[in-house]
Structure 1
Amino acid sequence: MLARDDMFTPLLEADPTFLPRWREFLSEWSDEPDDLPLYVALGELAHHIIEMQRAGNTAALQKVFDVVERWHIEGDRYVSEAATIGLLEGIQNILVSGKSSEGVLGSDFEPYFGPETRRWWDKLYRFWDGDTSALQFDT
């Protein structure tokens, strides 16, 4: 099972191009090493993923979303919720705001999704459309 403290390990192996941002994040939060605000790092990852899509880096995107699928399936409660609320919703928020998404659409990512990631991606859209029950996480 993937736990909070090691959730970024497979991501950094799958996409070493995120490593500079990860190191910057660690440096910025070095005074809180035991309680890193990983949702901030997931926000950075959301921007990184949009930049990868814009650059047409499809091989790396598939590897990243393979890890996201693992987060959903193999992650503990924190990791699986963070994959949805921290990352997927982060991507959707960037796309809705139009800031730094420049021509990237949500549908551009769907070919990379595994079944569990697709399920939570769709649940987020349902939630945004007013279905407040869509984001019920298992306890």
Structure 2
Amino acid sequence: MQLLLQACPSYQKQWDAYVQDNYENGDEQLLYIDLADFATHFVDLYKKHELREFPAVFDVIELLHISGDDFVKEAASVGLLEDLQNRLLSNEINTNAFNQYLKQESLKWWNHLNDFWDGKTKYDGGPEK
């Protein structure tokens, strides 16, 4: 989460409140739930046309897909990218709205998730090589 917080400082106040409301000292954080909260904030930025943090956030998403271990890559895709898609769709925004911001590797994962939900592939674990 630290990389996303650095890339998206507008989320810091919401993150602090989220952690305060959902965790006690010593609790294990639930990354997928945390990513869902971030996705809500990020789509809200898009809806308000506040896009200045978008390049940095999408750079982080790409970095996670390229440099992360298997757990990080899965969280970046099945966690964050899927949450972003769900938030877009629940706000009646086409998922293609983020295509222009996604980098090469994360765009592959993004498209693969779309294909999975459209029934074009049976495997949601990432693009086939």
Q: How does 1:56-135 map to 2 (within 5 A)?
A: 56-96=49-89, 98=90, 101=91, 104-130=93-119, 131-135=121-125
Give the ranges of 4+ consecutive aligned residues of structure 1 lying more than 4 Å apart after TM superposition: none
Q: Which runs of 5+ in 1 are unaligned?
A: 1-7
Answer yes or no: is the 8 Å Cα contact 1:10–1:67 preserved in 2: yes
Q: If the length of structure 1 is used for normalisation, what is the TM-score?
A: 0.80
Q: What CA deviation, in whole Å up to 9, does each residue of 1:30-61 have, x standing for no partner? A: 33645201111111111111111112122211
Q: Which runs of 5+ in 2 are unaligned?
A: none
Task: Supply the distance in 2 between the matched residues of 1:57 and 1:137 (Cα, whole angstroms).
Answer: 30
Shift of 1:95: 2.8
Task: Supply the distance in 2 between the matched residues of 1:32 and 1:116 (Cα, whole angstroms).
Answer: 36
Answer yes or no: is the 8 Å Cα contact 1:81–1:137 preserved in 2: no
| Aligned-partner residue type, residue 42 of structure 1 | L
Q: Which has the higher contact order (CA 8 A, sep 6+)?
A: 1
Identity of aligned residues (%): 33
CA RMSD of the aligned region, Å?
Answer: 2.1
1:9 to 2, 10, 33: 2
Match of 1:5 in 2: none
